[in-house]
Amino acid sequence: MMGRLEQDQRRFFHDFCLEDHVPDGHLLRRIDGHLDLGEFREQLRPFYSHTGRPSVDPELMIRMLIVGYCYGIRSERRLCDEVHLNLAYRWFCGLGLEGRVPDHSTFSLNRHGRFRNAEAFRLLFEGVLRRCMAAGLVGGEGFAVDASVLEADASRYHGEAPAEIDWSDPKLNTRPVREYLAALDPEPDPKRKAPKVISLSDPASAWTAKANKRVQFGYGLNYLIDTEHAIIVDVEATPARTYDEVMATKTMLDRTEKRFSLKPERLAADTAYGTGRFLAWLVEQKIEPHIPVWDMSRRKDGTLSRDDFTFDRKRDLYVCPWGKTLKTTGRVHEGKTLLYRASKHDCERCPLKLMCCPNTPQRKIPRDINEDARDHARSLKGTEAYEKSRCERKKVEMLFAHLKRHLGFERLRLRGLTGAQDEFLLAATAQNLKRLAKLAAIPPPSTKAA
């Protein structure tokens, strides 16, 4: 006999316990086992007044944000609705069936004001990372770094040339603009190219085509991970420019060492990080660069490349295939290159001239001032450890893919570098919490520390 659902939805009294309705293996239950926000609450205390009406509980807000970043709910309005309706979300946030979910505008106000000033998201990220370390998920020997472009919340049709922008216009008195102007270097590096186009709504973002898509304004999401279990050990937001991304790696490595005494023996990265300057810095830090060298010296027109010349380190000169020497004056060009020149006299009489320098009277060989570090990086290529790092490097890309494909993290919702930093810290925290929930046993309550 076909049954019929019989239920009176107008009942006043229910015998209902939320705790009983969240399964043991539920992601949020496992994450909750690793989360203790007591210390976090204490660190936020100075940012709240001692008088007046009690604010929204910061722990409730953080838990709601964790739900949002674990399940790809990016809109604050939708997050408030989802927490209101979903039993598991309610349970995780510590709300009863009738517990009041904050209004989305109150939620935004706290998130973008107090939390940002208190660096709350970095505190949260570091607390979770400490938990990962305590659970033995961070080996600390091999790190990998990479960056991914995320579209800024700025229209690609509304960029302007910097010379045409009047920053004193009251319409431009917005938080992202104020932050951008405050961070401008009064003495910019002359070697760095000025941006051609700037967004008026989010000027700190960079005009880029790096994501292999259309040209857009974007930020670089920089992850530094421990390769053992793909735990993110640091995260940094930069404009989507390769130079800034490489610089961010130094910041992240320094910070990880200072905050957690973590210093890797090796760093894996792609060719974008294989510049002489960065490789030399790594070698100086005693970190093995498992990085392909950025090398433009190989010629494609069939003439002799730099590899066909032998460098004599003792005499500081190159020897050409015809046995002649190329010497340098020691002058550094563009802050990074020495030029080694052959003698005009030698080249004019050389039988190899057409294969060597058909269009110039003499051959010149550029050499990076950090060529020794580049040679060291080249010498590591092909070793077992290097090949292992090459595979492990892909774990960063998988984290980016997960963010973009499964969590819909393609375009930022917050503006300015601080907005991007907040979003990236929360995304990294959620990803680490998921790894922790998957790989580590839930500790007894007294040992929780996040």
Is 34 a binding residue for ligand SF4 by CB under 6 A? The answer is: no
Q: Does 320 bind ligand SF4 (CB under 6 A)?
A: yes
The residue (of 130 and 306) whose beta carbon lies closer to ligand SF4 is 306
Instruction: Find out whether 326 and 365 touch, Cβ atoms under 8 Å.
Output: yes
Interface characters, 246-265, with ligand SF4 (x: CB under 6 A)? --------------------
Q: How many residues bind ligand SF4 (CB under 6 A)?
A: 13
Are 265 and 287 spatial neighbours (Cβ–Cβ below 8 Å)?
Answer: yes
Tell which residue, 210, 234, 257, 221, has the closest CA to residue 144: 234
Contact segment (CB under 6 A) with ligand SF4 among 106-114, 180-188, 355-363, 439-447 equals 355-363
Cβ–Cβ contacts within 10 Å for residue 109, how many?
15
> Does the protein bind ligand SF4 through residue 358 (CB under 6 A)?
no
Counting every residue, how long is the chain? 450
Structure tokens at 3: 């049954």
Q: Does 61 bind ligand SF4 (CB under 6 A)?
A: no
Pick from 67, 133, 248, 356 the residue near ligand SF4 by CB under 6 A.
356
- 324 near ligand SF4, rule: CB under 6 A: yes
Torsion of Cα atoms, 47 then 52 then 56 then 59, to 10°: 50
Largest separation between any pair of C-alpha atoms in the chain = 106
Considering only 113, 136, 321, 408, the residue that binds ligand SF4 (CB under 6 A) is 321
Distances (CA, A) of 339 to 121, 317, 326: 48, 10, 9
State yes or no: residue 340 binds ligand SF4 (CB under 6 A): no
The residue within the footprint of ligand SF4, chosen from 243, 322, 388, 434 (CB under 6 A), is 322
Q: What's the CA gap between 326 and 310, in Å, rounded?
A: 10
Give me the least distance between CB of 305 and ligand SF4, in Å please.
12
Tell me how far apart the alpha carbons of residues 337 and 367 are, in angstroms, rounded to a whole number. 5
Nearer to ligand SF4, 53 or 298 (CB): 298
The first and second tokens of residue 23, run together, are 């399964």
Give the type of residue at 32.
Answer: D
Shortest distance (Å) from residue 308 CB to ligand SF4: 9
- Residue 347 binds ligand SF4 (CB under 6 A): yes
Residues at the site binding ligand SF4, with contacts judged by CB under 6 A: 320-322, 324, 342, 346-347, 350, 352-353, 356-357, 363
